[in-house]
Amino acid sequence: MNDLVTKQISEAMSRVGEKDLRQAVEWFRCKGYLVETEKEVNPDLEITGLQKIFDGSLPMLFNNVKGMPHARAITNLFGDIRVVEELFGWKDSLERVKKVAHAIDHPLKPIIIGQDEAPVQEEVITDDLDVNKWLTAIRHTPLETEMTIGSGISCVVGPYFDGGSHIGYNRMNFRWGNVGTFQISPGSHMWQVMTEHYKDDEPIPLTMCFGVPPSCTYVAGAGFDYAILPKGCDEIGIAGAIQGSPVRLVKCRTIDAYTLADAEYVLEGYLHPRDKRYETAESEAADIQGRFHFHPEWAGYMGKAYKAPTFHVTAITMRKRESKPIIFPLGVHTSDDANIDTSVRESAIFALCERLQPGIIQNVHIPYCMTDWGGCIIQVKKRNQIEEGWQRNFLAAILACSQGMRLAIAVSEDVDIYSMDDIMWCLTTRVNPQTDILNPLPGGRGQTFMPAERMTSGDKQWTASNTQFEGGMGIDATVPYGYENDFHRPVYGVDLVKPENFFGAKDIEKMKSRMAGWVLSLARTGR
């Protein structure tokens, strides 16, 4: 290995918060975190099938995508949150939660570069706009009748977002060449933009970006935390603060808008709010919304096909095709998706509690099983009697401000919030069912993605307008202030002994290999 190669590897391994997806891929590769293959992969079921088999594991790069000779695909990009934390230079999840909460309040303004400098505009296509020819659509499960593009990140900068910037996920199905359905969740930032301009004479200019810088992927998963991330905030600036340098923007070629200059692909075009079409031919033929399977949802159930606004593409820009641009065909209800959707949300909930009363909130975690936006666990520390009860204020505020939140749990500082076994033990031993279970928002508005909510529509089509959010539940599982001694957990002397002084390495490894579940947390903490 020559000195130049050694230097390049050293630089790649020392970088923190890579500025674009290609740099991140090289960082993964140098760290030994990237698994790649030259075998042909079919985007119809195979990519997501492999992702699910290795759910929560390392990024997988497919260099040969069936039917897409110009493209590569990567998945499991955010599958292991420990890898993501290392990528951005955070020592652990607690530091991640706190530093991203700080970034929310201290965005780093993006910069604008010339069109001749923008990697994503190395090629500009305006005459061959069959989107499915250029962008890798996938099918998640055999239950779906059509492919979908769910990895597109909408980008709205400037007047249409009250002077700020928005980046977020919207699923699309390009059934008509350059025209595709554009699904928007009720209450989301894009919903806010669309609602304000619904009756405008002109459609809404925006872009859909693919293969974006990892910091933008991180922030694009933020959603339904608009007390902390209101319309007009600078989400691209937050991404810049996370990566430690400004995100680069570039003026679009065919619309009056700006987009992410370091993306792999960009679709320029217009959102037509009143041109609504069915997401699948099956639902169109039946003329029924909310019945036929299409695209899994974050709650862990199959999604349904609806009528949605449409996005009309005016240009496709991309990096040079001989460089094989990378798309990130995100599989839904995977650890990859869950980490993207929950990471900023954890920090936003931390920031919300900190604003209500500083110093009490210690950490926030949203386990995979709490389904992205469906729940959270907050950890608090009561320093005096006056602070008893703030945990309930926090729970009520979280349920009110986080659309779709169904279950919020508060625990004390002695609980391992990353162990669901510890959480279940806490619920079993510390909750009074008469006084500690809260339902502060009956009749409130939220995201209606749970199957039980379907029953409220009766015989009507299952749409956001005729299903009712059932509300959220808060559980106070904290130790009452002043009773800490009564709730004191036994702590064994795990720090006082060294297993290697008594057993050989093989015996230690053999014994540890048998350990699973709650004992891992208990053995680590000595509880």
Other C-beta atoms lying within 10 Å of the C-beta of residue 234: 22
Q: How far apart are the first and last CA of the chain?
A: 49
Q: Which of 356, 341, 347, 367 is closest to 99 using CA atoms?
A: 347
Contact 150, 171 (CB under 8 A): yes
Tokens of 527: 């509880």
**Torsion 173-176-178-183 (CA) sign:** negative
The pTM (predicted TM-score) of the whole model is 0.93
C-alpha span between 316 and 128 (Å, rounded):
9
Per residue of the chain (527 residues), what is the pLDDT tens digit?
456 545 544 554 455 677 899 999 999 999 999 999 999 999 999 999 999 999 999 999 999 999 999 999 999 999 999 999 999 999 999 999 999 999 999 999 999 999 999 999 999 999 999 999 999 999 999 999 999 999 899 999 999 999 999 999 999 999 999 999 999 988 899 999 999 999 999 999 999 999 999 999 999 999 889 999 999 999 999 999 999 999 999 999 999 999 999 999 999 999 999 999 999 999 999 999 988 999 998 888 898 999 999 999 999 999 999 999 999 998 999 999 999 999 999 999 999 999 999 999 999 999 999 988 889 999 999 999 999 999 999 999 999 998 888 899 999 999 999 999 999 999 999 999 999 999 887 777 766 667 766 666 667 776 766 667 777 899 999 999 999 999 999 999 999 999 999 999 999 999 999 999 999 999 999 99
C-alpha span between 363 and 101 (Å, rounded):
11
Residue 526 — left, alpha, or beta (φ > 0 → left; ψ -120 to 50 → alpha)?
A: left
